[in-house]
A and B are shown apart, each in its own frame.
Chain A
Amino acid sequence: MNTNLKISNVTKIYPGCIANDNVSLEFNSGKIYALLGENGAGKSTLVKILSGVVIADEGKIYLNENILKLNSPSDAKKNDIGMVFQHFNLFETLSVFENLIIDSDEKRESLREKIDTIMKKYNFSIDLDIPVLNLSAGQKQKVEIIRCLIRSPKVLIMDEPTSVLTEQETSELFLSLKKFSEEGILIIYITHKLKEVMQLCDEVAVMRKGKLVSVSQIKNENLESLANKMVGQDLKTIKKKKENNSSEQLINITNLNFTSEDPFETNLVDINFSVNRGECLGIAGISGNGQSELFQVLSGEIISNKNSIEFNKNYIGDLNPQERREYLMAFSPEDRLEQAAIPQMAIFENVALNNFKSSNFFNNGLINESKIKEHSKKIISDFNVNTDNIDLKSQFLSGGNLQKLIIGRELITSPDLLICFNPTWGLDVGAINYIHETLIKINEQNKSIILISTDTDELLKLSDKISVIHKGKLSKIMNAEEVTSEKLGILMGGGN
């Protein structure tokens, strides 16, 4: 029997951002559909609506012409919609079998038979009686898939399924998905990986900034055209003026590697680059390709080989962030509320987090509150933070004001190098402009910036040189003038 799933005019608004803006899509069984888009494009919200995790503000969803009421995940299950999330929802210490039967009320024996049939049919080989923690990531994913298959779903949604898989596991997954599709299960495949879309899918829907940009047949597309649609062509040509001929090297990274124990993190492979004084190096990439790890290695949260980072003629790879600050580096992490600042603490206390020696914030181990407050007042007025109460808890600052405070805190030392990660993420236009102007000013003062960002517009506007990070590897460094959005898009998707 044919399955037809229709999304009609779905809108979902979160405070400060429109996650889905009037999205309409139609899917038919027998095909594999790709939902493609950058992080924050709204694809996850859309599938969360389909799986009942999030309730849409407006719009309707039809399955075979019937309106679906999706108020909870169990509604989705009842309506034969199965979902495999990017992060597994398994009980590590329970056995595979226990995990599979946990939300079912059928008899154990009949379920066991059913599971055995499914495994035979799709050539899965997993020992049902060992604890889940002994499985590889690929096997865990199979358990999740079997959990959906037990309910003989009409629709199967896969959210970024290959992010933790090896290549071997990925191709196995693709074979299975094709088999499911032949058997009449409608498959929706969410990803930002262009190659996978080309390899696996029949039709592709591209989302950008909450809107549906295009729906097309894969046979009419190629890597480049998809990249363009995903990244968007509304590029601004405004760039900062550049007359700086300084060739004095400030930071030099050689053969930097990082191997993580956490399968959800990305390993960094053989990173090499250098930045001159007065220069801004932009590092583009789709999020989750090693940006966070690169930031942590550069800031000293992750310690690396001493000689892998040379800053101002000192080898500093083995120093922690505080020690690196003494060499005049400054850092602005991506996560404002959980890392760069502590929302429950007052503004002046947050200023004290950047404790460099000459600040005298702490004398002989004691807190020098008047000094910290004096500094805080200066930051607030110099960087236009919209408050005059430095005793205010920083959770009451808007995102833009908090970011100004953080950037201000980092710049008050007049560092030689500022490393920032998505500095304008989630901010309004006014705050974005202010931050951008500030960053341009830093370069004009012959100080350097490493700007790690997922916002291509921002990178093209601010950078002198650009490199792209993909799966923990950096592309060669290009002059920003020669870079086009197409080229970035291809590199970001893993092309050449």
Chain B
Amino acid sequence: MIKIVKRDQPSKAIFFFTPVLAIFLTLVAGGIIFYILGFKPFEALKFFFIVPIADRYGFSELLLKATPLCLIAIGLSFCFKSNNWNIGAEGQLTFGAIVSGGIALLFYDQEGFYILPLVILAGAIGGMIYASIPAILKTYFNTNEILVSLMLVYVSKLILDYLVVGPWSNPEGFNFPETRQFSDSARLPLLIEGLRIHAGIFLALAAVVISWFVFYKTYLGFQMKVSGFSLKTAKYAGYKGKKMIILVFLISGACAGLAGVGEITGPIGQLHREVSPDYGFTAIIVAFLGRLHPVGIIFASLVVAITYLGAETAQIFMQIPKYTGQVFQGMILFFLLASDYLLFFKFKFIDTKK
């Protein structure tokens, strides 16, 4: 007989094992789904997970998609580790893109080394401003940050829609919903000729290193950690708990805003309606799959980025709708949450003869 018993203490090995288990289960379930749809499971999975990254171009695309996911997830990890449920990174990304795009448009006919730093800074500030709304409402008016941050996503998308159709639309653009092209000085440089991978990846890597350093090595990080575990203890130690909450939202907003900068100043070079294919939401999955640890998040962002590419390849070669990608993302989160059960419980085999 098998009995489920509570663990005395969460197991460290299991802590890192469950994300791997979740990915494995996702592949199995994905294979079954493909089989039901009438495809050969292994072949379909190959199209989904291996073909897209088999060449140089595919690998560059993988990094291109992983960059915003990693950046946003790093920011979110600050929030989630301190029990602040910011799920509006998509909105912070969009607003960051709007603000940095606005600055880039101011200089559309100018060149200069100072333009790109300004544009990047504007994106971070835009994201911070947008993240500060749920943070301030939460700390001073007791609102629920989940609802506020989520609803603001749609507000930001509508603002963007209005701008690209209305006042910011390209006067020479035949009424397409997009702005002028930014000048070259306002764009993140491409790294390799012919590939779309751009300098935004360095922003993501810098975020990884800085966040690791801040969280594990500084007093500020220590205060955030304590505040996350227990606000009561934070108060007793004399930390400013409310400021800590606002701070983690600002960090998270800045990261999402930077991801937005990467999206518009990289390969595209203008603002248009769809700045992000829901990176802000998918990054939530990345953050948890990476166990909220900077290094874990790097790996998780690569894994989840494949689902974006795989969905496109599968659509082209197998005529499967590209929304399959979201199905896979959903399954990863589902199996991760389910296998986290093993963190706190274990199966015990009991001799029934007794």
Contacts and interface: CB of A to CB of B under 8 A. Distances in A.
A282 B205 CA distance: 57
A365 B218 contact: yes
B236 A321 contact: yes
A339 to B, nearest CB: 5
Nearest to A339: B232
Nearest to B226: A342
Interface in A295-352: 299-301, 320-325, 331, 333, 335, 338-342, 344-345, 349, 352
A367 B238 contact: no
A352 B222 contact: yes
B230 A366 contact: no
Contacts of A301: 235-236
A362 B219 contact: yes
Contacts of B233: 338-342, 353
A355 to B, nearest CB: 7
B236 A342 contact: no
Contacts, number: 64
Contact of A322 (B221, B225, B229, B239): B239
A424 interface: no
B237 A321 contact: yes
Contacts of B222: 349, 352, 362, 367
Contacts of A299: 236
B218 to A, nearest CB: 5
Judged by DSSP, the binding face of A is mixed
Given A339-B230, A342-B226, A344-B229, A367 B237 contact: no
A367 B215 CA distance: 10
Given A342-B226, A344-B229, A366 B236 contact: no
A301 B231 CA distance: 11
Interface in B186-223: 216-222
Contacts of B219: 355, 362, 365-367
A354 interface: yes
Nearest to A322: B238
Given A342-B226, A353-B226, A365-B218, A335 B237 contact: no
A355 B232 CA distance: 16
Interface residues of A, number: 31
Nearest to B214: A365
Among A299, A300, A353, max chain B CB count under 10 A is at: A353
Interface string B302-328: 000000000000000000000000000
B239 to A, nearest CB: 7
Contacts of B216: 367
Given A339-B230, A362-B222, A325 B238 contact: yes
Interface string A393-405: 1011000000000
B139 to A, nearest CB: 16
Given A365-B218, A366-B217, A367-B222, A300 B238 contact: yes
A340 B221 CA distance: 19
Contacts of A300: 238
B236 A331 contact: yes
Interface in A279-304: 299-301
A209 B239 CA distance: 38
B232 A338 contact: yes
A339 B236 CA distance: 7
A335 B231 CA distance: 13
A333 B240 CA distance: 18
A324 B236 CA distance: 11
Interface in A361-380: 362, 365-367
B334 to A, nearest CB: 26
Nearest to B237: A353
A83 to B, nearest CB: 29
- Give the 4 A-B residue pairs with the shortest CB-CB distance, closest first: A322-B238, A362-B219, A321-B238, A320-B238
Given A338-B230, A339-B232, A365-B220, 16 more contacts: A299-B236, A300-B238, A320-B238, A321-B238, A322-B239, A325-B238, A331-B236, A339-B233, A340-B233, A345-B226, A352-B222, A353-B237, A354-B237, A367-B217, A393-B9, A396-B9
30 contacts: A299-B236, A301-B235, A301-B236, A321-B235, A322-B237, A322-B238, A322-B239, A325-B238, A333-B236, A338-B230, A338-B232, A339-B230, A342-B226, A342-B230, A342-B233, A344-B229, A345-B229, A349-B222, A353-B226, A353-B236, A355-B238, A365-B219, A365-B220, A366-B219, A367-B217, A367-B218, A367-B222, A393-B9, A395-B9, A396-B9
